[in-house]
Structure 1
Amino acid sequence: MVKPMTKDALLSAFGGESMAHMRYLIFADIAEKEGFKNVARLFRAIAYAEQVHAANHYRALREYNEDAKVVAGAPIGPGRTNKNLELAIRGEEYEVSEMYPIYLEIARYQDEKEAEISFSYAYRAEQIHAQLYREAKEYVDKGLDWPLEGKIWICPVCGHTYVGAEPPERCPVCGVPKEKYVGF
C-alpha cells in the first residue's frame, strides 16, 4: 500500500494533470478558432503529455481502491489564446518550482520508488512545457502564430516533449525508442 503522504501527493498530481489535459484541449480549440494553428498543436501535444503524467500517477497508486477526494489547484478561466498561454505558463511553472520538487522529496523520504519515478518524469517534462509556452506566447502577443518547423513529439511513457523533424533516437528521460513517440 502506498504510504499516506505519497498517496495524497499522487492523488493531487493525478487531479492536476487530469485538469491540465482537459484545459489544454479547450485552449487548443480556442487557438484554432483564432487562427493560431501551431499553438493549437502545441496545446494538443502537451495535453497528451499531461494525460501520460496523469496515467503514471494513477498507476503508481497501485492497490489503492477507495473513494478519494482529489484536491488540486489550477489556473482556471479560458479566454483568448494569449491569456490561455499565460495560464498554462503559470500552471507549468508552479509544477516545476513548487509542486513536483516537494512531491519528489515526499516520495524519496517514504521510499516510494514508483511514485518517485512518476513525479520525476512529470517534473522534467513540465520544464520543457513551460519553455515552449513562453516561446509561443512571445509570438501570440505580437498577433503571430508560433513558427513550428517539424512536429511536437511526445514520449508515451514519460511525457518528454521534443520539437523537431524527428524525435530523438531514444527518449533522454526513460529510454523509449523513437518509434514509440507520438507526433503532433
Structure 2
Amino acid sequence: MSKTLANLMEAFAGESQANRKYLAYAKQADKEGFPQVAKLFRAAADAETIHAHGHLRNAGKIGDTISNLKDAIAGETHEFKNMYPQMIVEAEAEGEKVAARYFGFANKAEQVHAELYSKMLESLENPKDVDYYNCSVCGYTHEGEFTDSKCPICGAAPKAFYKVD
C-alpha cells in the first residue's frame, strides 16, 4: 500500500470517528439544554462527513453498488465472526460487563446487517420497497415497520425504534 493510500485511509477513519463523536456530543448538548452548541456540533459533524467521503473516494474505495454490497457483507461478517467475539472475551476477562454486553448487542446487530445486505444483493434487480427501522439502543435494523413487543437483541420497547429515512 502506498503512503498516500495509507494516509487517505487513516484520514477517512479519523474523519469518520470525528463525525460520530460530534453527533454524540450534539445529543448531549441538546439533552443539557444547549441547542446552539448542539447545532455547531452537527454542522462540524456534517463537514467531517464531507471530508471522510472525499478521502474514501480519492482512495478508490467506492465501487459500483454490487461491489459496495459485497464489501459491506464482508465487513459486517468480519465484525460478527471475528472482531466482536474477541472483544467480548477480552471485556469479560477484564470484568467489564457493560462493555461486554454492548459488544454482544453490536455483534448480533452486525449479523442482521450482513443478512440484510445479502438479501438485497440477491434481489438487486427487483428489490422489495420496504422501510427500515433501527433500535436506538443496540443498532438492530428491522425490515418493515417494527410491530414486535420488544427488540429481539436488547429487549428495548417498540418506542426505541425509529424509521430510517
**Alignment of structure 1 residues 6-21 onto 2, 5 Å:** none
TM-score by length of 2: 0.61
Which blocks of at least 5 consecutive residues in structure 1 are unaligned?
1-14, 23-50, 56-75
> Secondary structure at 1:183's aligned position in 2?
strand
Relative contact order (alpha carbons < 8 A, sep ≥ 6): 1 or 2 greater?
1
1:60-110: CA deviation from partner (whole Å, max 9, x where unpaired): xxxxxxxxxxxxxxxx71111111101100100100111011110001111
How far apart, in 2, do the equivalents of 1:155 and 1:167 lie?
12
Partner of 2:160: 180
* Paired AA for residue 116 in structure 2: L
CA deviation after TM superposition for structure 1 residue 166, in Å: 3.0
How far apart, in 1, do the equivalents of 2:70 and 2:79 lie?
14
RMSD between aligned residues: 2.5
Which blocks of at least 5 consecutive residues in structure 2 are unaligned?
1-12, 25-59
CA deviation after TM superposition for structure 1 residue 134, in Å: 0.5
Q: Which has the higher helix share?
A: 2
* Paired AA for residue 164 in structure 1: G
TM-score by length of 1: 0.55
Partner of 1:78: 62
Q: 1:121 aligns with which of 92, 105, 117?
A: 105
Q: Which has the larger radius of gyration?
A: 2
Aligned-residue identity in percent: 35
How far apart, in 2, do the equivalents of 1:173 and 1:165 lie?
16
CA deviation after TM superposition for structure 1 residue 137, in Å: 0.9
CA deviation after TM superposition for structure 1 residue 157, in Å: 0.6
